[in-house]
Amino acid sequence: MIKRSYYKQKIWLGTFGMGGYVTSDPNNDDERDVEAIRYAIKKGIFQIDTSESYAGGKTEMLIGEAIKCFSRNRLVIATKVREYNLFYDAVIESCKKSLERLQTSYIDVYYIHKQNPEIPINETIAALNKLLDMGLIKNIGLSNVGIDTIKKYSQLLKKPVYAVQNQYNLVCRESQRKKIIDYCRKNRIRFIAWRPIRLLYPGCPDPFYPEGTYKLLDEVAKKYNKTNVQIAVKWLLQQDCVEIVFKSSNKDHIDEILDTENFEILYEDWKRLDEEFPVQLEVGCTANNYFEVT
Ligand SMILES: NC(=O)c1ccc[n+]([C@@H]2O[C@H](COP(=O)([O-])OP(=O)(O)OC[C@H]3O[C@@H](n4cnc5c(N)ncnc54)[C@H](OP(=O)(O)O)[C@@H]3O)[C@@H](O)[C@H]2O)c1
């Protein structure tokens, strides 16, 4: 029996790195990844996030394997179509291939991974609407987008945009600064923060910020008797409408994230992290700058 709580509905299991990163890794411990996905589901994280691009499609296959022993209708599976597959026929084909790899008859949330200014948005939207009609996808998400792009999709899609997935953590503040989160909140679109744990940016001393990296984080973590990772994640989860997608193949790490349900950061401490965290940039170190389509 999968136990769900409202809190857990704000948590998605990410899978970037399972089976490999950009291409399939022959040395990867696939069994461990499959077990981690199953463990997360048993613990109530029933929302799984992936992409056709992860490990060259292998990650979707691992998810397909992992979810076999659960009722499909209790799970929420999100995957993404890459930015160079956004022509009409390519979107349809990508979706069908993802379905095959995931061994499922529908995708709950189908994301556009990134915008591609070379491909007319109407063409992509026509394909998404067709996939909705065919029942192959249930909802549409947008990833790495700004407000203007969300508005354009919203005007032409048959269904309201279900979710926006952008990079957002204590360091990467673009979605906060550009009011993308506020826009989602007002328009009842889930805002899903990718990379909630790893603080990557040029010159970053350690992406997992062990004690001694950021004094403020150490101080707050000590006050609540929690780890730095838990405080960083909780700072996100205490924000209205903000959800997280985190990756872990480690059961203890999954438990550590779930344990954030058991405490609250006082507003004064939350605000200090929000305003005084010493490194605040737009997007960290990835090339996922938001594209606004014209
Ligand atoms: N839309 C997009 O363009 C986009 C881009 C990037 C990522 N994403 C999605 O977002 C997900 C998360 O991003 P991410 O994987 O880059 O970063 P992340 O979730 O912030 O960090 C993942 C890393 O943190 C470690 N970790 C997890 N829990 C931990 C804990 N409690 N303590 C210490 N370390 C912990 C993991 O290692 P272990 O496995 O050993 O726990 C892994 O190395 C991805 O998997 C993917 O689904 C989307």
Q: For the segment 4-36, what is each residue's pLDDT rounded down to a tens digit? A: 688 999 999 999 999 999 999 999 999 999 999
Give every CB contact of residue 221 below 8 A, 6+ residues apart in sequence: 227, 228, 230, 231
Q: What is the CB neighbour count within 10 angstroms for residue 148?
A: 11
Q: For the segment 142-193, what is each residue's pLDDT rounded down to a tens digit? A: 999 999 999 999 999 999 999 999 999 999 999 999 999 999 999 999 999 9
Which member of 6, 7, 39, 54 is catalytic?
Answer: 54
| Most ligand 1 atoms within 8 A of CB, residue of 247, 259, 261, 285 to mutate | 247
The yes-or-no answer on residue 267 being catalytic is no
Selected from 3.30.70.3270, 2.160.10.10, 3.40.30.10, 3.20.20.100, the CATH number assigned to the domain covering 7-202+241-250 reads 3.20.20.100
Give every CB contact of residue 271 below 8 A, 6+ residues apart in sequence: none
In short, whether 14's Cβ falls inside 6 Å of ligand 1 is yes
- The rounded Å distance from CA 129 to ligand 1 centre is 31
- In the predicted model, what is the mean pLDDT of residues 122-132? 97
In short, whether 47's Cβ falls inside 6 Å of ligand 1 is no
Q: Is the model's pLDDT at 2 over the cut of 60?
A: no
In short, whether 259's Cβ falls inside 6 Å of ligand 1 is no
Picking from 15, 143, 136, the residue whose alpha carbon sits closest to that of residue 83 is 143
User: For ligand 1, what atom is nearest to the CA of residue 169?
Assistant: 20
Do the beta carbons of residue 216 and residue 278 sit within 8 Å?
Answer: yes
Q: What is the reported pLDDT for 3?
A: 58
Q: 205 or 53, which is more confident?
A: 53
In short, whether 79's Cβ falls inside 6 Å of ligand 1 is no
- The rounded Å distance from CA 259 to ligand 1 centre is 17
- In the predicted model, what is the mean pLDDT of residues 65-83? 97
* C-alpha of 101 from chain center: 20
DSSP string computed for 196-214 = SS----TT-S-TT--TTS-
**Cα–Cα–Cα angle for 127, 131, 137, rounded to 5 degrees:** 130
- In the predicted model, what is the mean pLDDT of residues 259-278? 97
Residue 282, both tokens? 């737009």
One-letter amino acid at 268 equals E
Query: How much is the pTM?
Result: 0.96
In Å, how far are 25, 48, 155 from 249, measured between CA atoms?
15, 13, 39
The confidence band for 195, taking pLDDT boundaries of 50, 70 and 90, is very high
Picking from 78, 82, 37, the residue whose alpha carbon sits closest to that of residue 56 is 82
One-letter amino acid at 146 equals G
| Most ligand 1 atoms within 8 A of CB, residue of 47, 60, 171, 248 to mutate | 248
In short, whether 13's Cβ falls inside 6 Å of ligand 1 is no
User: For ligand 1, what atom is nearest to the CA of residue 197?
Assistant: 20
Q: What is the reported pLDDT for 6?
A: 86
Phi, psi dihedral angles at 139 (to 5 degrees): -150, 165
Nearest Cα residue to atom 15 of ligand 1:
247
- The rounded Å distance from CA 153 to ligand 1 centre is 28
Nearest Cα residue to atom 18 of ligand 1:
195
In short, whether 143's Cβ falls inside 6 Å of ligand 1 is yes
Distance CA 181, CA 112 (A): 18
Q: Is the model's pLDDT at 104 over the cut of 70?
A: yes
One-letter amino acid at 236 equals L
The confidence band for 99, taking pLDDT boundaries of 50, 70 and 90, is very high
In short, whether 165's Cβ falls inside 6 Å of ligand 1 is yes
Q: What is the reported pLDDT for 1?
A: 46
In short, whether 277's Cβ falls inside 6 Å of ligand 1 is no
Ramachandran sector of residue 188 (left: φ over 0; alpha: ψ -120 to 50; beta: rest): left
